[in-house]
Amino acid sequence: MRKNIVAGNWKMNNDLAQTQTLISELKEQSKTTNAEVMIAPSYVNLWSAFEATREGGEIEVIAQNMHFAESGAYTGEVSASMLKSIGIKTVILGHSERRAYFNETDESLAKKVDAALEHDLRVIFCFGEELADRKAGNEESVVGSQIKNALFHLEASAFKNIVLAYEPVWAIGTGETASPEQAQDMHKFIRQTLNDKYGSQVADDMTILYGGSVKPANAKEIFGKPDVDGGLIGGASLKAEDFYAIVNAF
């Protein structure tokens, strides 16, 4: 059975004090919901965020990225085992900002996915087309190859630890959201792509999130689509009230 998930990607926002303040505000808002709730603070605040959410248990703290190597001379990087050692269970991989500004490729992402799964980390794997791809009508071929190149070397059983996040690049941080129909069409295509390779069990069980300018005002309509199982939220995850308005859209 697939799950509903709402994950807040804080990106490079919030210092230690701001992280602690936002978490206490989130805890005030939080109550039993129909979705799993996650937040992804910066690396430097992961441990304090993890500690701050330990009580109450509803908010899972997750990482925004990791390196594929186990350890070694990779200045500035963090490994899967380091994340595991502080209690992190889930990592976002392949965000379009990582692809665009830090040269992450399908090939390097395949290695990161393998490393994360070897360490029993759940992966939220992000992908999505650019505006030019959509204008040219190539969005399905772009998304299809991003998924195939980074994930289709895996066994079917690996997919129980994977969540997919469709994030059209043209909708991230722009205020322009994919319409609920555009999101549904793409999510259906993604599920069909999984079905063609791995069969209906993997496809039906896959949680597929939408990301890109999700706000309290549009969350309900987007999450109402049958193949949309939740959201990866950037800007609106930085305000407790807005984030929980989105969570409560379920």
List residues with catalytic annotation. 95, 167
Give the residues across from 36 on adjacent strands. 5
Q: Among 147, 232, 240, 246, which residue interacts with ligand PGA (rule: CB under 6 A)? A: 232
Q: Is residue 222 a contact residue for ligand PGA (CB under 6 A)?
A: no
Does residue 9 bind ligand PGA (CB under 6 A)?
Answer: yes
- The nearest distance, CB 212 to ligand PGA, in angstroms, is 5
Pick the closest to residue 62 from 93, 35, 34, 33 (CA basis): 93
Q: Give the helix ranges, DSSP H, for the chain.
A: 16-29, 46-54, 80-85, 96-101, 106-118, 131-135, 139-151, 180-198, 200-205, 216-223, 240-247
HSE-CB of 197 using CA atoms within 13 angstroms: 18
Of 117, 129, 124, 187, the C-alpha closest to 153 is 117
Q: Provide the CA 111 distance to its chain's centre, in angstroms.
A: 18
Q: Does 219 bind ligand PGA (CB under 6 A)?
A: no
* Two structure tokens written together for 89: 């269970």
Site for ligand PGA in 160-179 (CB under 6 A): 167, 172-173
State which residue has the least CB distance to ligand PGA: 234
182 binds ligand PGA per the rule CB under 6 A: no
In whole angstroms, how close is the CB of 159 to ligand PGA at the nearest point? Answer: 21
* 80 versus 233: smaller Cβ distance to ligand PGA: 233
- Pairing type for strands 36-40 and 5-9 reads parallel
224 binds ligand PGA (CB under 6 A): no
CB of 96 to ligand PGA, least distance (A): 7
- The binding site for ligand PGA (CB under 6 A) comprises 9, 167, 172-173, 211-214, 232-236
